[in-house]
Amino acid sequence: MIEQLKTFVQVVESGSFSKAAEKLFISSTAVMKQMNLLEKQAGVPLFIRTNHGVSLTKAGTSFIKDAKYMLQYFQESLIRMHHSEQANRHVVRVGTSMLNPCKVLIDLWNGISDIYPQFGINIVHFEDDAHTLPTTYRMIGQSLDIIAGPFLTDNLKDHYRMLELGSYRVCFAVSRQHRLASRKTLFVKDLYGERLAVVNGGNSAVIHDIRNFLKMKHPQIQIKDVPRLYDLDVFNRCEESNTVMLTLEAWADIHPSLVTIPSDLDFTVPYGLIYPLHPSKEVGQFLEIIKEMQGNVLPKVE
């Protein structure tokens, strides 16, 4: 009925079925069929048809005002419905950056978002800067609800909790000009005589264990301690100085002039969601859905 009303108004404004059809991007036959059906439902003729176009009968002249009113009321009703729906919709603010990409969460959520229409995701970008990242992490629960990424900042655990979703393999990154750049796998012994940048400004237990393992078992490697968080400047400096860098498989495409190569190190870094110590009720419900997804049983959220 709504489509018939729209077509009716367009025919009246255009003055012919063919001109209305052009503006509606449908055939003239489709327009005529709709108008014939509308007249049948009304029980009275609405148009005077001539070779030069159409004009309204008295009934049509009376009906056009009501048709426009009904269309306007329908549009206003749709707006009210959408506003009502939005009022009950909870938006979860998810932080993302090059080193903390939220794709892992988005891929998970896209698979079930239709089941939970009351939740939406708002992507908030932040910079991977070692000087500002601590402040960014402390803002979780204020300007951000969740950050997705590797867990490499244990010294900020007083400000957030973590929901583990998986783990990343530890790799080595080298300049494309480095002698080892063509290797498919880098064994620890391949790095003998090389400088290896180990970033541990976040006081990560895993990075700490890797560093100790290499220093104790492979002293032939020159460990270059980087007392800061991972950021893009570290990648740039390692490429410029031809220094090997301890990195993660997830960061393989971060720097175009670095090659990320799998290692034989038996270490992995967990990744997942970083969220507030005391999340809001809505964020808590969202996280419960993600947790249950890992068990393949989706909860019912009221």
Reported as a single tens digit per residue, the pLDDT across 19-57 is 999 998 999 999 999 999 999 999 999 999 988 889 999
Q: List, for residues 239-263, the tens digit of each pLDDT value.
A: 999 999 999 999 999 999 999 999 9
Identify the pLDDT of residue 84: 59
Is a pLDDT exceeding 80 seen at residue 189? yes
How do the domains of the chain map onto residue ranges? 1-69, 71-166+270-297, 168-269
CATH number of 168-269: 3.40.190.10
Backbone angles phi, psi at 28, to 5 degrees: -60, -35
Fold of 71-166+270-297: D-Maltodextrin-Binding Protein; domain 2 (3.40.190)
Q: What percentage of the chain has pLDDT greater than the value 90? A: 67
Using CA atoms, how far apart are residues 67 and 274, in angstroms rounded to an integer?
54
In order of 11, 49, 106, 167, 184, the CA distances from 146 in angstroms are 52, 63, 12, 18, 35
Orientation angle between helical segments 2-14 and 58-87, nearest 10 degrees: 130
CATH number of 1-69: 1.10.10.10
* Residue 64 CB coordination number (10 Å): 18
Q: What is the mean pLDDT of the chain?
A: 90
Which of 166, 201, 121 is CA-nearest to residue 273?
166
Give me the mean pLDDT over the 71-96 stretch.
Answer: 78
In this chain, the answer to whether the domains covering 71-166+270-297 and 168-269 adopt an identical fold is yes
Query: Which band of pLDDT confidence, cut at 50, 70 and 90, is reported for residue 73?
Result: confident
Lowest mean pLDDT among 14-18, 50-54, 187-191, 225-229: 50-54
Both tokens assigned to 291:
């947790």
Using CA atoms, how far apart are residues 229 and 290, in angstroms rounded to an integer?
28
CA dihedral 258, 264, 266, 268 (to 10 degrees): 20
Using CA atoms, how far apart are residues 276 and 163, in angstroms rounded to an integer?
11
